[in-house]
Amino acid sequence: MTGVGTIAVQTFRSMLGNVKMLLWVLLAPLVVITLMYLVFDVKNETDIRIGVPDTMDPTFTEGLPEDVEVLTYELTPVLDTLLDTHELDAFVSMEDKGLNVTYKNEDPPKTAAVEQAVETGVRAVEDERLKGIMAALPEEAEIPKIEIETSFLYGDSASTYFEKMFPILTGLVLFFFVMVFTCITLFRERTSGTLERVLATSIRRSEVILGYLTGLGLFVLLGTVMMVLYAIYLLDVTIAGSMIWVFVIYILVSFSGAAAGMLIALLSKSEVRMMVLILLVTVPQIFLSGLIPFDYIGDWFNNIGYGFPLRYAGDALTEVMIKGNSWSYIWNELLALALFIIGFTVLSILGLKKHRRV
Amino acid sequence: MTKIIASLQDADKKFFFNQVLADINLTVKAGEIVGLIGPEESGKTTCIRCLIGMEDLTDGKAHVLDEQMPKRKMLSKIGYMGQEAAIYGTMTAHENMVFFGKLKNLKGQELKSEIDKNLKLVGLHETGSNKVSKFSGDMKRRLSLAIALLGSPKLIVLDEPGAGINPGLRLSVWNHLRTLADEGAGIIAAAQWMSGVEQYDRVVLLNKGRIVAAGRPEALMNEYKAASIEEVFINMEAVT
């Protein structure tokens, strides 16, 4: 199997020779992850703006959570225009007995947060009234306060949405980039005729495929290490478990991406078909890798995800990075990833038959 | 009788229902340069790919050195140059030669001397350490040819070898091919419209996947009263 080494070295070197492409491929994933970091790293600082008339009971406004901005209006304004032009999330006014709340509801999740804020305000008013009743009572009654003590099974109060998504997102980004990169590299070998020329020697098909996989894999390894170190040291993502397992999983993800990319490059007749196949392989994985819980559709839908490598990668990475578990919790995911790699590789070797019959 | 290096017998090739080759009988003997000539889409490339076992024949047999093709091991005795230059742009000419030389199982001193010899032949020995991406189209074709000739193959298969090589060098390349043939190699070259048809010992004219005529170039030209192979095709169309 000397051919494997020859082709691996060749693939690796021809990539190093192309500095511009090298930078693109290594830096682009970092840019994407940084973007995701900026988008998802929200520390629950949604700024809520609520409008009230000046006749509003001050207990209500004072009782609102601190991060809620309250704007007072002297006259009752025309609500439709006000909510939009002043960027209010809700307008609250006091009727005889109840509250009259109008939500903008442009962004439903935010409305939920506003609703919560309003409820807090209402509770403050109710407390106030309760106190009045209590004072009227003859005895010195005190309502015992309930103290809440919080602790977290995973992570801490500083855990952000980004940290939950990080394992799956990085797996996805890595898989996608490696796959596209491998696909294009191999497709280029096809169109330039070098693949044909390689096949016109007595090398085995398996040597060709394993050679490409090793060469590309070495290169991809470089990218993986960069990405993980970048995330941990610059984006400050905390990893509960062992770094070794994190790397092992990422390496398996890269290789399954590379193997899938090879298969696609060998099977697609044109660039357009190649792009369509890439989309067909990646887009479902975005939704099915556990990023979005599809509990409401039903288990059967969620289970489709187990037909894709990223599902296993996401599960394993979550176990290690968030729950701090190791081998005994992730071995079956690792096994599944390894099987994907072997499967794609074997299919690629068979797919190469299209280019040389023996 | 001279040794038959490669042959196709009653070869048929279909891609689905599209008949690309029909009833092809073709031999390449040791010491012979055979021209496979035909217009575009006439099946030349498929013919060549079937001969060296890159494709299966739907019907019929392909042999190289008495072994039935497709057979992987036999590929090490074949020097193949496809239509594309098929070289790595990011590497130097010399590195390209080393890579393909290694794939052809050449090692050490033999690899080195083969590379030097063939680079010199195509006139690239002085530019061997330059990156291929800086090469002109002509130089790329020459390098491609040098790679095909690595390791003194017994059967040399060239798809459009003359295209893009400048005339002065073409002659020296032909001379070298002649030397290789005299040393016992069989050579088959596919070409569209061929200038310098006198270089071939025998030509096989291919049209729409069938052999329409075969023989020594002069004999064919006499038969169809033509001054060139192109005219042979034209006159043939006029008859049919």
The secondary structure of B105-131 as a DSSP string is T--HHHHHHHHHHHHHHTT-SSSTTSB
Mean pLDDT estimate for chain A: 81
pLDDT (tens digit per residue) in B9-39: 888 888 888 888 888 888 888 888 888 888 8
A341 pLDDT band (50/70/90 cuts)? very high
Instruction: Examine the pLDDT at A63 and tell me if it is beyond 80.
Output: no
For the ranges A49-58, A244-253, B180-189, the lowest mean pLDDT is seen at: A49-58
Q: From B151, which residue of chain A is nearest by alpha-carbon distance?
A: A201
Predicted pLDDT of residue A264: 93
Among partner residues A3, A14, A191, which is closest to B103 by beta-carbon distance? A3
Which residues in chain B have Cβ-Cβ distances shorter than 8 Å to A190?
none
Which residues in chain B have Cβ-Cβ distances shorter than 8 Å to A201?
75-76, 100, 103-104
The answer to whether A71 touches A49, Cβ cutoff 8 Å, is: yes
What is chain A's Cα-based Rg?
29
State which amino acid sits at residue A223: G
More confident call, B174 vs A42? B174
Which residues in chain B have Cβ-Cβ distances shorter than 8 Å to A202?
72-76, 104-105
Predicted pLDDT of residue A256: 92
For B120, the token pair is 């010199």
**Cβ contact B86–A204 (<8 Å):** no
Predicted pLDDT of residue A354: 84
More confident call, B45 vs A87? B45
Among partner residues B52, B56, B88, which is closest to A200 by beta-carbon distance? B52
pLDDT (tens digit per residue) in A252-301: 998 999 999 999 999 888 889 999 999 888 888 887 776 776 666 667 77
In angstroms, what separates the C-alpha of A358 from chain B's closest C-alpha?
A: 6
In angstroms, what separates the C-alpha of B94 from chain A's closest C-alpha?
A: 13
Q: What are phi and psi of A75, to 5 degrees?
A: -105, 155
Instruction: Examine the pLDDT at B181 and tell me if it is beyond 80.
Output: yes
A72 pLDDT band (50/70/90 cuts)? confident
- Does B82 contact A at CB distance below 8 Å? yes
- Does B130 contact A at CB distance below 8 Å? no
State whether residue B167 is helix, strand or coil. helix
Rounded to an integer, what distance in angstroms lies between the CA atom of residue B189 and that of residue A256? 42
Q: From A352, which residue of chain B is nearest by alpha-carbon distance?
A: B54
Among partner residues A191, A192, A201, which is closest to B76 by beta-carbon distance? A201
Residues B173-199 have a mean pLDDT of: 81
Mean pLDDT estimate for chain B: 83
A192 pLDDT band (50/70/90 cuts)? confident
pLDDT (tens digit per residue) in A102-152: 887 777 777 777 888 888 888 888 888 888 887 777 666 566 677 778 777
Q: Give every CB contact of residue A171 below 8 A, 6+ residues apart in sequence.
A: A249, A250, A253, A289, A310, A313, A314, A317
Predicted pLDDT of residue B196: 64
Instruction: Examine the pLDDT at A45 and tell me if it is beyond 60.
Output: no
In sequence order, the β-bridge partners of residue A50 are A70, A90
- Does A358 contact B at CB distance below 8 Å? yes
Which residues in chain A have Cβ-Cβ distances shorter than 8 Å to B73?
202
Task: Identify each DSSP E strand in chain B by its residue range.
Answer: 4-15, 18-29, 33-37, 59-64, 67-68, 78-81, 155-159, 186-191, 202-207, 210-215
Rounded to an integer, what distance in angstroms lies between the CA atom of residue B95 and that of residue B147? 11
In angstroms, what separates the C-alpha of B204 from chain A's closest C-alpha?
A: 23
Give the start-to-end residue ranges of the domains of chain A.
2-41+158-354, 48-136
For B156, the token pair is 């040399």
Which residues in chain B have Cβ-Cβ distances shorter than 8 Å to A203?
103
- Our CA angle for A63, A67, A71, nearest 5°, is 75
Starting at the edge strand found earlier in the chain, the sheet holding B33-37 runs B78-81, B155-159, B186-191, B33-37, B202-207, B210-215
Predicted pLDDT of residue B173: 80
Predicted pLDDT of residue A293: 66
- What structural domains and CATH numbers belong to chain B? 4-89+153-239 (3.40.50.300)
Among partner residues B75, B85, B131, which is closest to A193 by beta-carbon distance? B85
pLDDT (tens digit per residue) in A220-247: 888 888 888 888 888 777 778 888 888 8
Instruction: Examine the pLDDT at A53 and tell me if it is beyond 70.
Output: yes
More confident call, B235 vs A331? A331
Predicted pLDDT of residue B123: 82
CATH number of A48-136: 3.40.190.10
- Our CA angle for A38, A40, A169, nearest 5°, is 100
For B239, the token pair is 């008859």
Rounded to an integer, what distance in angstroms lies between the CA atom of residue B38 and that of residue B192? 5
Residues within 8 A of B (CB atoms), A 29-48 only = none
A83 pLDDT band (50/70/90 cuts)? confident
Size of interface A-B (CB pairs under 8 A): 77
A44 pLDDT band (50/70/90 cuts)? low
Which residues in chain A have Cβ-Cβ distances shorter than 8 Å to B54?
196, 199-200, 355-357
Which residues in chain A have Cβ-Cβ distances shorter than 8 Å to B64?
none
- 3-state SS record for chain A: CHHHHHHHHHHHHHHHCCHHHHHHHHHHHHHHHHHHHHHHCCCCCCCEEEEEECCCCHHHHHHCCCCEEEEEECCCCCHHHHHHHCCCCEEEEECCCCEEEEECCCCHHHHHHHHHHHHHHHHHHHHHHHHHHHHHCCCCCCCCCCCCCCCCCCCCCCCCHHHHHHHHHHHHHHHHHHHHHHHHHHHHHHHHCHHHHHHCCCCCHHHHHHHHHHHHHHHHHHHHHHHHHHHHHHCCCCCCCCHHHHHHHHHHHHHHHHHHHHHHHHHCCCHHHHHHHHHHHHHHHHHHCCCCCCCCCCHHHHHHHHHCHHHHHHHHHHHHHCCCCCHHHHHHHHHHHHHHHHHHHHHHHHHHHHCCCC
Answer yes or no: pTM beyond 0.90: no
Return the sign of the alpha-carbon dihedral for residues A5, A11, A14, A20: negative
Predicted pLDDT of residue B193: 67
Rounded to an integer, what distance in angstroms lies between the CA atom of residue A153 and that of residue A173? 28
State which amino acid sits at residue A346: V
The answer to whether B143 touches B133, Cβ cutoff 8 Å, is: no
State whether residue B231 is helix, strand or coil. helix
